[in-house]
């Protein structure tokens, strides 16, 4: 078992790597690798997890520069889940935004336990809302 290396935004990501990672977790965003590649360049924060030269995980966030950061994606290939990769990626984001007043994310119900384990709390009386053409 190789050691997983966490890299920052300076690590270039190819369309094929992004497509492969996103489709591995069945996220419809993976069907738009050209858009994903542009998005990764535009996010303020991107951390990736690598097993050698294989992209196995990713987290990215956007922020307002001082108060609030929004985690947009966190994904880990299914065969690498359960190895604390997601936790390590969340820790990178928490470290980067430690002086911000709020870090926000939208979690699917089945993933809330993971995020609570990482220190997030469910917002009472709050519901995520979307206008989207993505199906997952």
Q: Which residues contact 62 (CB under 8 A, 6 or more apart)?
A: 43, 44, 45, 69, 70, 72
Q: Where are the beta strands (DSSP E) in 11-67?
A: 45-51, 54-63
Q: Along the 136 residues of the chain, how does pLDDT read in single tens digits?
A: 579 999 998 778 999 999 999 999 999 999 999 999 999 999 999 999 999 999 999 999 999 999 999 999 999 999 999 999 999 999 999 999 999 999 999 998 899 999 999 999 998 888 888 898 888 7
pLDDT score, position 109: 87
pLDDT score, position 132: 86
pLDDT score, position 135: 80
């Amino acid at each position: 078992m190789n050691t997983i290396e966490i890299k920052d935004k300076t690590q270039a990501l190819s369309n094929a790597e992004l497509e492969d990672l996103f489709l591995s977790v069945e996220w419809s965003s993976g069907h738009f690798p050209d858009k994903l590649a542009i998005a990764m360049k535009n996010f303020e924060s991107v951390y990736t997890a690598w097993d050698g030269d294989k992209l196995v995980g990713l987290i990215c966030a956007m922020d307002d520069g001082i108060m609030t950061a929004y985690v947009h994606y966190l994904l880990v290939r299914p065969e690498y889940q359960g190895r604390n990769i997601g936790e390590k990626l969340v820790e990178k984001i928490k470290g980067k935004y430690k002086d911000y007043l709020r870090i926000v994310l939208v979690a699917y119900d089945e993933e809330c336990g993971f995020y609570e384990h990482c220190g997030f709390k469910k917002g009472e009386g709050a519901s995520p809302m979307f206008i989207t053409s993505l199906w997952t």
